[in-house]
Amino acid sequence: MTIKRAIIVVLDGVGIGELPDASRFKDEGSDTLGNLARAVGGLNLPNMARLGLGNIHPIEGVFPHPEPTGCFGKMAEKSSGKDTTIGHWEITGLITTEPFPTYPDGFPPEVIEPFEKAVGRKVIGNCTASGTEIIKELGDIHVKTGSLIVYTSADSVFQIAAHESVIPIEEQYRICRVAREILTAPHAVSRVIARPFTGESGNYRRTDRRRDFSLSPPRKTLLDYAIEAGYPVYGIGKIEDIFAGQGMSWTVHTHDNADGMQQTLKIVREKDDGILFTNLVDYDMLFGHRNDKAGFSAALEAFDAFLPSLLAALKDGDVLFITADHGCDPTTPGTDHSREYVPLMVYGRGLKQGIDLKIRATFSDLGATIAEMLGIEGELAGTSFAGEIR
């Protein structure tokens, strides 16, 4: 069976249990879906349950379905890291063996000094911090002086926060591009992130005009090979940023999960071939990193309520893959990503139902499966499971 289109929806940060090497990342006990469900007294996800979510892993409120309409399993991350970029690259057949650099003590002078000189502004902060907390702490100084709030996390990121009335948004993006040019090996962080905010002292709030400036993939991914094979590739949400625009035909940035879901539905209805790749970031950005269990569970239930509309819009020859890129357990003391398996649910009208895909050795099995089903040739990691679901 060949297909006409693959639709990948990444629920950013929605892990499903710690990986065997979680202790290496200090993530023992992480289980985003399982721990969250226990913390909120159960999750109400009947549509994902019908696809087989509860058959993958114990999740309070999401019971194993006796006759799932989808195929289901979970995937291990083979790359060295637990970053958004690494996770998405691995989904598309590129395994990262060397971790991106991190800066628990802030960035060294050989990074900060040329950056300050290039943009003509001083840096304040330069530490590991929560984005909302550092804006509370340093927002007034930034507004008064125009200095840039620079901070990082346990991930490989160089984040720049600035008030939109102090530094216009396009200038913030330009400053991030300058940082991206400076941050090369050995300081080649995964992402430079613009973190714009607005509001007054004591009531600063981040806006939805965040942008990520990622490293370019070092080799071709499934998306590049799809373009070469004549398929269109549509990126929704952060996808363009994660791949630095590489392997894309059309992209749109989104305001939030609701916008991402509607943009996905629009393309599913209007187009009928190629690869549609969506990232829904709110689970990670708004809820996981802030340990907001109620917000996280509500966002999952909102996607579940949207799912019937997406399934109804699928055409013959479409295959839907629902997965994640890492964990971001909101129940653990820390606020960073967690080293976890990710769920895998697959649905298409011409596919088998109820197939247990078990534990896949790498996220790249998803990309290899799409390549086989679309007839795309290329040097990609992973083992296709197309033969199991046809």
3-state secondary structure of 71: strand
Predicted local distance difference test score (pLDDT) of residue 2 = 74
Please state whether beta strands 5-11 and 211-214 pair in parallel, antiparallel, or not at all (unpaired). unpaired
Residues in Cβ contact with 7 at an 8 Å cutoff, skipping those fewer than 6 apart = 264, 268, 275, 276, 278, 314, 318, 319, 320, 321
What CA–CA distance (Å, rounded) separates 141 from 147? 8
Which of 285, 334, 308, 299 shows the shortest CA–CA distance to 26? 334
Count the alpha carbons within 13 Å of 383 in the hemisphere toward its beta carbon: 10
Predicted local distance difference test score (pLDDT) of residue 1 = 61
CA distances from 215 to 122, 156, 179, 234, 241 (A): 24, 11, 12, 19, 9
**pTM score above 0.85:** yes
Q: Which three-class secondary structure string do you get for 156-192?
A: CEEEEEEECCCCCHHHHHHHHHHHHHHCCCCCCCCEE
Distance between terminal CA atoms of the chain? 6
Which token pair is 142? 């930034």
Q: Which domains does the chain have, with CATH numbers?
A: 5-98+216-389 (3.40.720.10), 109-214 (3.30.70.1250)
Helices H / strands E in the chain, number of each: 14, 14
Residues in Cβ contact with 267 at an 8 Å cutoff, skipping those fewer than 6 apart = 234, 236, 276
> What is the amino acid identity at position 210?
R
- Interhelix angle 364-374/84-91, rounded to 10 degrees, is 30
What CA–CA distance (Å, rounded) separates 48 from 54? 8
Which of 37, 74, 77 shows the shortest CA–CA distance to 56? 74
Can you give the pLDDT of all 390 residues of the chain as single tens digits?
A: 679 999 999 999 999 999 999 999 999 999 999 999 999 999 999 999 999 999 999 999 999 999 999 999 999 999 999 999 999 999 999 999 999 999 999 999 999 999 999 999 999 999 999 899 999 999 999 999 999 999 999 889 999 999 999 999 999 999 999 999 999 999 999 999 999 999 999 999 999 999 999 999 999 999 999 999 999 999 999 999 999 999 999 999 999 999 999 999 999 999 999 999 999 999 999 999 999 999 999 999 999 999 999 999 999 999 999 999 999 999 998 888 999 999 999 999 999 999 999 999 999 999 999 999 999 999 999 999 999 999
Contact assessment for residue 207 and residue 196, using Cβ atoms and an 8 Å cutoff: yes
Predicted local distance difference test score (pLDDT) of residue 223 = 98
Burial (CB < 10 A; 0-12, 13-18, 19+), residue 42, is: middle
Burial (CB < 10 A; 0-12, 13-18, 19+), residue 223, is: buried
Residues in Cβ contact with 297 at an 8 Å cutoff, skipping those fewer than 6 apart = 36, 37, 40, 43
